[in-house]
Homo-oligomer: A and B are copies of this chain.
Amino acid sequence: MSVRTETYNQLVEYLKNLALLRSCGSVLGWDEQTNLPPKGAEHRANQLAVLAGLSHDLATDPVLGELFEKLSDPASVGGEETEAFANVRDAKRAYDRSGKLPKKLVEELSRTTTLSQHAWVESRKKKDFSVFQPWLEKVINLKREEADALGSETGVKYDALIEDYEPGATAAQIQSVFTPLREALVELVNAIRNSERTPDISILERQYPVDAQEKFSIQAATAIGFDFSAGRLDIAAHPFCSGFGPGDCRLTTRYDEHHFPGAFFGTLHEAGHGIYEQGLTDENFGLATGEACSLGIHESQSRMWENLVGRSRSFWDHFYAPAQQNFPAAIGDVHIDDFYAAINDVRPSWIRVEADEVTYNLHIMLRFQLEQAMMNGDLNAADVPAAWNELFTEFFGMTPTDDSIGCLQDVHWSAGLIGYFPTYSLGNMYASQIFEKAKEDLGDLNAMFARGEFLPLKEWLNKNIHQHGRRYYAPELVEVVTGKPLSSEPLLKHLKGKFGAVYGL
């Protein structure tokens, strides 16, 4: 074995151990949401803090810097085209990033965002923004400080923060796809509002027994390719997917006996994330080539299965008969056309997480605009509610009656997750663009779905998206896969086509 290979192997072992340690934190985090007895909360926080501290120590250990130094010549890992080069580059990027943040700032951010989330919960509950305002101010200042410490190629503070969620993306690039999307969406929403069709969504609020919902959700998640021998579905207050590592990926959902779409589409969504995690290359666990590309690409997988597949007519051509068998009291007498229209109801609403496929992206653009203003100094915490309501009125034609259904609805800002929101809409756009390419390669996907054949798409995604891991960053990956840079066109084409038919536009 050459000395160079030995150094690379040392790095790989180091990174795998670090990832293993972090994945222990994932197990504890999952357990916290699914199983923790109430009195165990403080101990769990202490356990997670110890793991986080040890992970941080490992991630910033100078021994890593020495390994990168020895591997600084691309030739030492076989050249720039190799997987090894991508693994080293990505790990070095993370190491350099950690090194730029003063420990004092990291600790202050951690402490502030923990307390800030408590304040946010109270503020939201009391519908009183003033409780959260001083904390939001602190978070904004600390995130600006963090952005300065990290720096970015563009010199734009917001870009330094996006890098944590969507490596390689910039606010300007995102804006360039958001702008045409927004105009077209506002137009589409107006057309739908003026349409004479109004789906009867009350059929989704009939009685759907929880046991049958669970059984049917698992049946659908299995059909689209989630492997339950390498994963689980449990109940949690907030649905999520947590991939612990090879062979173990956990989904959660929540059931409401009188609201069918919540658990069902939620499970398809999380199963989409899970299929991505399960599609990563096991032996590359802990390395860029074995980890998810970005939050945007992750979201593209969940949205594709939830919306492009799960809310498609062809999906229900296959699944409506079993659905009627599972929920005879609720939809035994409902025609598939009415059910399909109901699950595709579009209307402006206050809450992002409950929004439909069309209006959802407007919720994101509003947040994107406000976040940029906070970061570049144009928007203070105190002015957030007014700015929110003004934009909301512009986008949706209605004004929030209080801040709990306005600027206090999401946890993200209190948790310091600024730069995260755009990845949701990027996910929608990536999904449509990738889905178009899959259709080109695989032929009539809708005919397959109607026959209950979902694995060709799943396997295509395994090969074209999942197996690359983070070898390419998202903007490059989408070009490698589809041959084109990211565009809002495929999403718009999908939305106009689908909802044009549903609403007879």
Residue positions of A touching B, CB distance < 8 A = 17, 20-21, 23-24, 27-28, 31, 35-44, 46-47, 50-51, 54, 227-232, 244-248, 285
Tell me, in angstroms, the Cα distance from A35 to B245 when the chains sit together: 15
With A27-B47, A246-B43 known to touch, is A229 a contact of B38 (CB < 8 Å)?
yes
- The answer to whether B21 touches A230, judged by C-beta atoms less than 8 angstroms apart, is no
- The answer to whether B24 touches A47, judged by C-beta atoms less than 8 angstroms apart, is yes
A17, A36, A40 pick with most chain B CB within 10 angstroms: A40
Closest 6 A/B residue pairs (Cβ): A40-B248, A39-B247, A39-B230, A40-B247, A20-B50, A43-B245
- The answer to whether B37 touches A229, judged by C-beta atoms less than 8 angstroms apart, is yes
Tell me, in angstroms, the Cα distance from A230 to B36 when the chains sit together: 8
Instruction: Select A27's contact among B31, B46, B227, B248, beta carbons within 8 Å.
Output: B31
- The answer to whether B43 touches A244, judged by C-beta atoms less than 8 angstroms apart, is yes
- The answer to whether A47 touches B245, judged by C-beta atoms less than 8 angstroms apart, is yes
Given the complex, which residues of B lie within 8 Å of A50, measured CB to CB? 17, 20-21, 24
CB distance from A243 to the nearest CB of B (A): 10
- The answer to whether B35 touches A247, judged by C-beta atoms less than 8 angstroms apart, is no
CB distance from A123 to the nearest CB of B (A): 27
- The answer to whether B227 touches A40, judged by C-beta atoms less than 8 angstroms apart, is no
Given the complex, which residues of B lie within 8 Å of A285, measured CB to CB? 43
CB distance from A482 to the nearest CB of B (A): 32
Instruction: Select A39's contact among B27, B38, B54, B227, beta carbons within 8 Å.
Output: B227
With A23-B47, A27-B47 known to touch, is A230 a contact of B54 (CB < 8 Å)?
no
CB distance from A43 to the nearest CB of B (A): 4
Instruction: Select A244's contact among B20, B24, B40, B231, beta carbons within 8 Å.
Output: B40
- The answer to whether A24 touches B20, judged by C-beta atoms less than 8 angstroms apart, is no
Given the complex, which residues of B lie within 8 Å of A17, measured CB to CB? 50
Given the complex, which residues of B lie within 8 Å of A245, measured CB to CB? 40, 43, 46-47
- The answer to whether A248 touches B44, judged by C-beta atoms less than 8 angstroms apart, is yes
- The answer to whether A37 touches B231, judged by C-beta atoms less than 8 angstroms apart, is yes
Given the complex, which residues of B lie within 8 Å of A24, measured CB to CB? 24, 28, 47, 50-51
CB distance from A282 to the nearest CB of B (A): 8
17 other A-B residue contacts (CB within 8 Å) besides A24-B50, A37-B247, A38-B230 = A20-B46, A20-B47, A21-B50, A24-B24, A24-B47, A27-B27, A27-B31, A38-B247, A39-B247, A40-B247, A43-B244, A43-B245, A43-B247, A43-B248, A47-B244, A47-B245, A54-B54
Given the complex, which residues of B lie within 8 Å of A40, measured CB to CB? 230, 244-248
A21, A47, A230 pick with most chain B CB within 10 angstroms: A47
Tell me, in angstroms, the Cα distance from A356 to B31 when the chains sit together: 36
Tell me, in angstroms, the Cα distance from A285 to B38 when the chains sit together: 18
CB distance from A7 to the nearest CB of B (A): 21
Closest to A46 in B: B20
User: Can you list 20 A-B pairs with a CB-CB distance of less than 8 A?
Assistant: A20-B46, A20-B47, A21-B50, A21-B51, A23-B43, A24-B24, A24-B47, A24-B50, A27-B27, A35-B232, A37-B229, A37-B247, A39-B227, A39-B247, A40-B246, A40-B248, A42-B247, A43-B245, A43-B248, A47-B245
CB distance from A90 to the nearest CB of B (A): 21
With A27-B31, A47-B27, A54-B54 known to touch, is A248 a contact of B21 (CB < 8 Å)?
no
Tell me, in angstroms, the Cα distance from A43 to B21 when the chains sit together: 11
With A27-B31, A47-B20 known to touch, is A246 a contact of B42 (CB < 8 Å)?
yes
Given the complex, which residues of B lie within 8 Å of A246, measured CB to CB? 39-40, 42-43
Tell me, in angstroms, the Cα distance from A232 to B38 when the chains sit together: 10
Closest to A247 in B: B39
- The answer to whether B27 touches A230, judged by C-beta atoms less than 8 angstroms apart, is no
A17, A38, A46 pick with most chain B CB within 10 angstroms: A46
Closest to A18 in B: B50
Closest to A234 in B: B35
Tell me, in angstroms, the Cα distance from A244 to B40 when the chains sit together: 9
Given the complex, which residues of B lie within 8 Å of A23, measured CB to CB? 43, 47
Closest to A248 in B: B40
Closest to A40 in B: B248
Closest to A53 in B: B17
CB distance from A122 to the nearest CB of B (A): 23
CB distance from A280 to the nearest CB of B (A): 12
Tell me, in angstroms, the Cα distance from A365 to B51 when the chains sit together: 43
Given the complex, which residues of B lie within 8 Å of A39, measured CB to CB? 227, 229-230, 246-248
CB distance from A315 to the nearest CB of B (A): 26
Tell me, in angstroms, the Cα distance from A21 to B41 when the chains sit together: 16
Given the complex, which residues of B lie within 8 Å of A231, measured CB to CB? 37
